Structure 1
Amino acid sequence: MEAMEIPRDVAEWNNLILIYKFALKEIDTKLNILNEEFQFIHAHNPIEHIKSRVKTTDSIIGKLKRKGYDVTLENAKEYIHDIAGIRIICSFTSDIYTIYELIKKQSDVKIIEVKDYIKTPKPNGYQSLHLIVEVPIFLSDRAEPVKVEIQIRTIAMDFWASLEHKIFYKFNKAVPEGITDQLKECADVVSNLDHRMLSIRNVMAQYK
């Protein structure tokens, strides 16, 4: 029985998704190597855990339409920078910037964009360090540069962002003012908690 032939446009979109999966593997391998080496040298893991995902074709197409672009592979690669996304969760805010510096030193990783929502949180209190990087993926017939979004945040920041995300969709973006006020207060608590935890860690480091 002959295998059903995949329509050309579907095959091309599937190939695009595959390339972004390769990019995630490339970044994930780099991060794990850096984390293990850092543990060996400094007896400390800056990375608690890593989450990754690739957008579905429907999600990419929907975002292109919302942004007003024609639905093409070229526009997806040019204008949708979070097709592949990695979230790095750390214990301390200092780890966030340590990881950022380690990523910057990778000779084959190009930093395209940096948004620091820790030094300048969003109005709702959201905190995280966002990077758009470009990494070369070596295929059988070519090397292709692929963009990956990297979000780096503490455990407390991630907990807050997860709750905010659930509330955002629960109320279909129209979140009652009372809840938004409470979320902002919680964001302030998270910021204070991260600061105090880092202070404790720095005091502990003085004891050998």
Structure 2
Amino acid sequence: MATLLHIDSSLFPASASASRAAAETFRKAWQEQHPEGTVIHRDLAAHPVPHITADAHTAGFADPASHTPGQAAAFAERLRLIEEFEQADALLIGAPMYNFTIPSTLKAWLDNVILMGRTAGDSQSAKGTPVTVIASRGGSYAPGTPREGFEYVQTYLRAVLADGLGLDLEFIVPELTMAPHNPAMAELVPLFESSRERAHEDAAARAKELARRLAA
């Protein structure tokens, strides 16, 4: 049966997090299609992975036989994350926008799994694996909006996940999530509600579509 690797990076619980809530909708639909399958859930807010160190980085480009004890220990942790990533049949990533970009915990996870010559570069060991990113954001950074130029979540993750790792990438974008909390955005609440509803619909549909694809 298929394995889903689910990465959450929001600081908040699902009741207060648009990315976690939509990811839960995806995961529920996925599990309904794969009751015998496996879901590996990494909550990077609760259990952050180590930021990459000099030992972990240099070990990726050195013969394992030449590793120092520090390199061997650091790379063992990194390798565990890489193998988990490679063995997944599909990925689900919650990536809320914090200060115009992704959470540092998600960047740390990416720094660990991106390894030139294996997961990235000419080889791309997980190439073609479907990845769904729930890219929530407090405002709107869509094309044509005043803040379009400040959108560094989709731009960055497209470069890393699709171009760098060769994954089959799709974004789901619940936006205007600050509208219910910011009086200055009150008139945007209906647009927020519509965006939230569409995100949950898209999450369920994407999960079911991937389930059918992987079962074929």
Q: Aligning the two structures, in what range does the TM-score lie when normalised by the shorter sequence?
A: under 0.3
User: Would you tell me which structure has more strand in proportion to its own residues?
Assistant: 1
Find the structure with the greater CA-based Rg. 1
